[in-house]
A = this chain, B = another copy of it.
Amino acid sequence: LAGDLFDPDTDPNPEGYGSAVDEKNIKLVLAYDGTRYHGWQRQVNGLSIQQVVEEKIATMAGGPVRLHASGRTDAGVHALGQVCHFPYRGRLTPAEFRRGLNSMLPEDIFVVEASSVSPEFHSRHSAKAKTYEYRILNTTEPDIFLRHYVWHISRPLDNGAISQCLARITGRRNFSSFQSAGSSVSNPIRTMHRAEIQRGPGGAIRMIFEADGFLRHMVRNIVGTVVEAGAGKIGPEAFSDILDTCDRSAAGVKAPACGLFLVKVTY
C-alpha cells in the first residue's frame, strides 16, 4: 500500500504544496451484519463496527483516523448502506481504499462505495433523510437460516391493520411515544416521508420507513406497536391515541434488533 505523503522517501512533493497534500474528505458506504458487534459506536466493552473499520483505515492511511457516521446503529442492527466519512491527506484513491479495506475487513463488513467528497460533506449533518427496513418472518415455524435477520412471529399478522397504523405516522409529528424511555432529544418532531408494509412470499414482511431523522429506537418501538395492532391486540384508533399521548409508556414492546436494517442515507 502507498505510503504517507510526508514520508520523504516516497513523497514527490515534499514541500507540501499543490493539490496532492490537500486534505481530502473520503466518504464510505458500508454494509454490515451487526450480529457479532456491540453496535456502530466505539466502546470500551465490546467490539464495535466503528473500531474495526477505523483500525483498517488507519493501517492503510498510516496513522489514526476518526470515522464519523450518519448515526449509530444498535447492537445486532444491520446496515445495507450506512454512510461515514473521514479526513485524509495522502495519495491513496477512494478506489484503492475500497479495494484495500474489503481485503482486510472481516467478512461481515463490506465497503460498498468509496468516493472523494467536498470538504463540507458531513455524513450526519448533511443527511437529508434515512431509510430503514424492518423484516419479519410471519410463519408458524422459525427459519433457522434467517434467525439473525428477521423477527419471527408465529401469530398471524393482519396486513390491513398494520397498514392503517402506518398511514397514521406519515407527515410531520411528535414521535415521543416511540422514543426509548431514558433517552430524550430536545426536539422529538420528525417528518416521516414513507411508512409502509410489503408482504413477500413465504411469510416475509418488510416495513419500510423513510424520515428526515429518527429518535432512539424509534423504528423498533413503532414496529413493536404496529405488530400488536396486526395481532388484534389494539385497534388503529388505540394506535393513534398512543401516537398522540407522546408518552413512551403507552406504546408496545420494542421489536428485536435483528430485524432492523439501515438501508440508505439520502443527502
On A, residues with C-beta under 8 Å from B are 31-33, 78, 107-110, 112, 141-142, 144-145, 147, 149
Contacts and interface: CB of A to CB of B under 8 A. Distances in A.
Among A107, A110, A141, A145: residue with most chain B CB under 10 A: A145
Contacts of A144: 31-33, 107-110
17 contacts: A31-B144, A32-B144, A33-B144, A33-B145, A33-B147, A78-B145, A107-B142, A107-B144, A107-B147, A108-B144, A108-B147, A109-B144, A110-B141, A110-B142, A110-B144, A112-B141, A145-B149
Query: Considering the complex of A and B, which 4 residue pairs feature the smallest CB-CB distances, nearest first?
Result: A110-B144, A107-B147, A33-B144, A108-B144
A102 to B, nearest CB: 9
A144 B110 CA distance: 7
A124 to B, nearest CB: 23
Given A108-B144, A110-B144, A145-B149, 4 more contacts: A33-B144, A109-B144, A110-B141, A112-B141
A33 B144 CA distance: 7
A108 B144 CA distance: 5
A78 B109 CA distance: 23
Contacts of A108: 144, 147
Contacts of A109: 144
Nearest to A32: B144
